[in-house]
Structure 1
Amino acid sequence: MRSTLFIVSLIASTGAWAQADLAGAPDLAKASGCYSCHANGEKVVGPAFAAIADKYATEKDAAASLAQSIQNGSKGKWGRIPMPGHASLSQGDLKTLSTWVLTVKP
């Protein structure tokens, strides 16, 4: 019984940690310069985060694919203006940003 409660508690706290981890994502996006070219609901230089979330909504490995685009940059996915890569971001930050972008609603 005790081990079952521990496992349930561990699963619940892991879910809360993941949610809390994304709470700082908008600040990470600002600090990383994402908001220089993107906004949540409207196109700036690059597409709105909500448009990105919509485009990737049905993709199986959307977060991993998006993290790769953030890290390496992309060209031609959203028009003629290329997105520069952010190679200095850690794998954790890339995962946080890509996961968060996929949650942005208009």
Structure 2
Amino acid sequence: MHKIPTLAVACGLLSLPLAHADVTQLLQSNACTACHQPAARVVGPSWQEVAQRYGDGSKSAEQLAASIKSGGSGSWGAVPMPPQTQLSDADASSIAEWILTTGHQ
């Protein structure tokens, strides 16, 4: 009988945003840091630039996560961003949320 509350608690915990260290690990393990840095443009825009452009709500974390997963070109210059299909939807969402809320600090 206690399975439903336990499941609800577990699901709630799984939906919490990842801590800074966890997102940093995701960024490193998925080679995001090869092209992106917190405050300096490398190959692609810095996370600070992304946060400044979209932090006004013009792009939601869900939209940014979709852009991360699908890749693209033209938004930040001529160099295309390859699709990041290895990322789960949850990981892409965590990265996007982090960029829009704390990745620029």
Normalising TM by the smaller chain, what interval?
0.7 to 0.9
Q: Distance in 1 between matches of 2:77 and 2:58?
A: 23
**Residue 5 (structure 2) aligns with:** none
Is the aligned partner of 1:29 residue 2:27? yes
Higher gyration radius (CA):
1
Is the aligned partner of 1:98 residue 2:90? no
Task: Please give the TM-score of this superposition, normalised by the length of structure 2.
Answer: 0.78
**Residue 42 (structure 2) aligns with:** 44
**Residue 87 (structure 1) aligns with:** 85
Q: Distance in 1 between matches of 2:42 and 2:76?
A: 12
More helix by share: 1
Residue 62 of structure 1: CA displacement?
1.8
Deviating 4+ runs (over 2 angstroms): none
Q: How does 1:48-59 map to 2 (within 5 A)?
A: 48-59=46-57
Q: Distance in 1 between matches of 2:26 and 2:67?
A: 17
Unaligned runs of 5+ in 1: 1-9
**Residue 7 (structure 1) aligns with:** none
Q: Secondary structure at the match of 2:104?
A: coil
**Residue 68 (structure 2) aligns with:** 70
Superposed CA RMSD: 2.0
Residue 32 of structure 1: CA displacement?
0.7
The number of aligned residues is 92
Bigger mean CA deviation after superposition, 95-104 or 71-80: 95-104
Unaligned runs of 5+ in 2: 1-8
Task: Please give the TM-score of this superposition, normalised by the length of structure 1.
Answer: 0.77
